[in-house]
Structure 1
Amino acid sequence: MLVTEIKDRVGRLKKFLIQDPQNISLHLDLIRQLSLLGDIESLTNHLETVKKLYPSHPGVLYEESLLFMSTGDFGAAEGNLKQILSQGETDGEVLYLTAYCCLMRSSPQEAFSYLETCYQENRDNIRFPILMARIQYFLRALDNVEECLQEALGLDAESVEALSLLASCKLDQSDYKAAKFYADKVLALSPDEANALGVLAYCNMADMEFDDAQALISRALDVKSDSGRLWIGQALLSMRREELAMAEAQFVKGLSYMPGHIGSWNALAWCRILLSDLQGAMDCCEKAIELDRGFGETYGALAVVELFAGNIESARLNAKKAIRLDKANFSGFFAQALCDHISGNEQKASEIILSLLNSPVDESGKKLTDYLSGFIIA
């Protein structure tokens, strides 16, 4: 429908409502037409008018929830949608949107409970397996993510959204070859898709191809500057170049978009250790522990902070806890090794801080920041 046709329809609906101001069908039609026009001010004003007449009407609540979602107010949208469901509504679209709002508020388990109730009868609609994949991704059930995405790709083999999420899933499984494969497929369909660019950047970081990674991250941030994952990647690259103050600011920016990401709090803690900001590093570790008390890397970073603060016994205990939680824990073993060589010697501690960025930590030539990228991907 052309814009002129929509405007004509709006005009007619307004005239009809003068004659029949209680007609809810006319009101809902007008709301939808105003939405199509993108006339948010008129849409908002009319919704307020209609809500005074029909405060609990499911159609009005639904249209208002769409407006809330368009402005990023997912909490208000979720409230409306749950009010509709409380009236006995079982429509799959309402359940889908409720699940989506829950996920956007970082409540994946609740999102799953809503989507699960309508999933079987709607799984031939590609939006449903993709949303289920996103929920499972948030829950870190990566095998389930892949199953849902393969189902989505069976419905549309060129779904950029499904391919992009599958690339992220493969990256998180450290299957860099597959991650590159799917990211390349995305970029063949959509050359500026930011997530796929970011996936390739992280793959290049894993391969220690840092110039290529930087070019990809910069390109991705030009497209999507509100991606926490991209800002964290940029911070790691800055950190590797020893641009620590810049890296710290980039970590903080990234975490403003994904404050629940434990690995990024750990990476910021290491950045602050290198800046000799022990209290700032301690704050990061405490935040990470608050999010997940069972993530071993956090206790390794905390052990290093305690060590450099002169609390040797506390450092030893945290290093042991880190290794107990994760036998492949880099920071825990690193802290344990430091404890064995330092006994409150501040000069020695300072020397180690200065060498952290520059010295390879294993026979492959990888440095500290190369290991950090391994546990912040998520």
Structure 2
Amino acid sequence: MTMPTQASTPAVSPAPEAQRVERLLSFLQTDPENLNLLADAAVAAFDAHRFALCDELLDRHAARTPLPAVLANLRGLAALWEHRFDAALRAFEPLLATHDDAVIRYNAAYATAMLGRFDAAIELLDDATLSGEPRAIPLKLRVLHHLSRLDDAIALGRSHADGPGASPELYGALATALFDAADLDSARRCAERSADTVDGLTVRGLLALDSGSISDARDLFRRALAFNPDGARATLGIGLVELAERRFADAAGTLDRAADMLNVHAGAWAAAAWAHLFNGDSGAARTRFERAAELDRGFADAHGGLAVLCVSECRFDEARRNMAIARRLDASCLSAALAESLLATHAGDVRAADEIRRAALDRPLGPDGRTLAQALAMRGGRGA
């Protein structure tokens, strides 16, 4: 799971602190046993973003005497910044037993969530923590969302949206949950209040993509990735933009990366499958459609996509079987509608690939005039 909420940020810019670190290290060369110097140097190293050095200095301190609470907490924060979440939790857990501190509980919950222990993270994010640490609110919202407790996540976000704990991060997390709940108007309003957060930019990008504003969507996803290059939803969004721009080879690679990052997100695998199909690699497309169907047995578009793929391979009986499955799962499935349209003309010769691409990207298939590509953007972006 990607958690954009970060740990406590070093308060001082790294440049002046780098000079302070070097000065303190020079003092330690002449007085290596000085605990106060070790503590000051560790704090300076943390503020300079030299987290490995911070940990080394704390080890030297701990070898002489147990770390006081403030330095034990610093060890946990340094581990968080290095994404060593097990080590961070080992530092925070003893403090939880001795200190009633919302920030410590938040940081412990953050590490716990990043380790995939979402139920345990929820327990740490109690009312006292939410009241005492505003960053805990969007974190809990994201954890609830990840646990598929979408209604609870939205209720939590809305209950704090106009309160003192409201922040751009909260609005971004709430926008994501509302987008996944298909409440697009509310998602747009929250995303607009989320400023330049990764979540807000990504949701705005997905909404722009849905409205056909491809250039705006591309810019928003790129801005999101500038903040977080590992953002899975934004990576997926860039892949959907490339698909809409008919850059099928690029889209296949980008959407494969997004599917790997999201791992169990059926929509991402289906999006990657379409890119490979449009790029002429039916084998790769089949593997990805089948993966999507395996991940979500109720995902009609995976079977609809397989039906379209089978039409392109002139396997009409198999196409009809998959189309029937898709229709049973969702009578309004657009990929099944595309397969049905193609079957009606028995497309399957050399021209079928172009016909499939044109139909999927340009032809309105649903009662609302949506194309399969538009539906793919919305379905692919949800739940990521």
Common fold by TM > 0.5: yes
Give the CA deviation at 1:133.
0.4
Query: For residues 47-196 of structure 1, what are the structure 2 equivalents within 5 Å?
Result: 47-50=58-61, 62-78=73-89, 80=90, 84=94, 93-105=103-115, 107=116, 110-125=117-132, 126-156=134-164, 159-187=167-195, 192-196=196-200
Question: Does 2:305 correspond to 1:301?
Answer: yes
Percent identity between the two aligned chains: 23
Normalising by structure 2, report the TM-score.
0.77
Partners of 1:103 and 1:206 lie apart in 2 by 31
Give the CA deviation at 1:149.
1.6
Task: After superposing the two structures, state which structure 1 stretch, 159-168 or 30-39, moved more.
Answer: 30-39
SS for the counterpart of 2:33 is: helix
Give the CA deviation at 1:100.
1.9
Question: Does 2:45 correspond to 1:34?
Answer: yes
Deviations 1:177-208 (A, max 9, x none): 32222222233xxxx44432332232223223
Deviations 1:272-306 (A, max 9, x none): 11112111112222433454344332222233334
The answer for unaligned runs of 5 or more in structure 2 is 1-10
Q: Read off the aligned partner of 1:377 and give its amino acid letter.
A: G
Partners of 1:89 and 1:26 lie apart in 2 by 26
Partners of 1:41 and 1:334 lie apart in 2 by 55
> Structure 1 residues 12 and 212 mapped into 2: Cα distance closer, same or farther (>3 Å)?
closer
Residues 54 and 60 of structure 1 are in contact (CA less than 8 Å); yes or no, is this contact kept in structure 2? no
Q: Read off the aligned partner of 1:376 and give its amino acid letter.
A: G
| Superposition CA RMSD, Å | 3.9
> Structure 1 residues 155 and 17 mapped into 2: Cα distance closer, same or farther (>3 Å)?
farther
Question: Does 2:327 correspond to 1:323?
Answer: yes
The answer for unaligned runs of 5 or more in structure 1 is none
Q: Residue 355 of structure 1 aligns with which residue? A: 358
Q: Residue 372 of structure 1 aligns with which residue? A: 376
Give the CA deviation at 1:42.
2.7
Normalising by structure 1, report the TM-score.
0.78
Partners of 2:290 and 2:363 lie apart in 1 by 28
> Structure 1 residues 321 and 346 mapped into 2: Cα distance closer, same or farther (>3 Å)?
same
> Structure 1 residues 281 and 74 mapped into 2: Cα distance closer, same or farther (>3 Å)?
farther
Q: Residue 18 of structure 1 aligns with which residue? A: 33
Residues 137 and 170 of structure 2 are in contact (CA less than 8 Å); yes or no, is this contact kept in structure 1? no
Q: Read off the aligned partner of 1:168 and give its amino acid letter.
A: T
Partners of 1:282 and 1:311 lie apart in 2 by 13
Q: Read off the aligned partner of 1:304 and give its amino acid letter.
A: V
Partners of 2:365 and 2:317 lie apart in 1 by 24
Q: Read off the aligned partner of 2:126 and give its amino acid letter.
A: Y
Q: Residue 272 of structure 2 aligns with which residue? A: 268
SS for the counterpart of 1:260 is: coil
Question: Does 2:254 correspond to 1:250?
Answer: yes
Deviations 1:301-359 (A, max 9, x none): 2333344344444433333333333344332443355456549x444643532433343
Residues 122 and 128 of structure 1 are in contact (CA less than 8 Å); yes or no, is this contact kept in structure 2? yes
Residues 76 and 92 of structure 2 are in contact (CA less than 8 Å); yes or no, is this contact kept in structure 1? no
Residues 303 and 332 of structure 1 are in contact (CA less than 8 Å); yes or no, is this contact kept in structure 2? yes
Residues 10 and 33 of structure 1 are in contact (CA less than 8 Å); yes or no, is this contact kept in structure 2? no
Q: Residue 6 of structure 2 aligns with which residue? A: none
Give the CA deviation at 1:270.
0.8
Residues 306 and 315 of structure 1 are in contact (CA less than 8 Å); yes or no, is this contact kept in structure 2? yes
Name the count of aligned residue pairs.
364
Residues 320 and 336 of structure 1 are in contact (CA less than 8 Å); yes or no, is this contact kept in structure 2? no
Deviations 1:11-31 (A, max 9, x none): 8899887267xxxx9866664
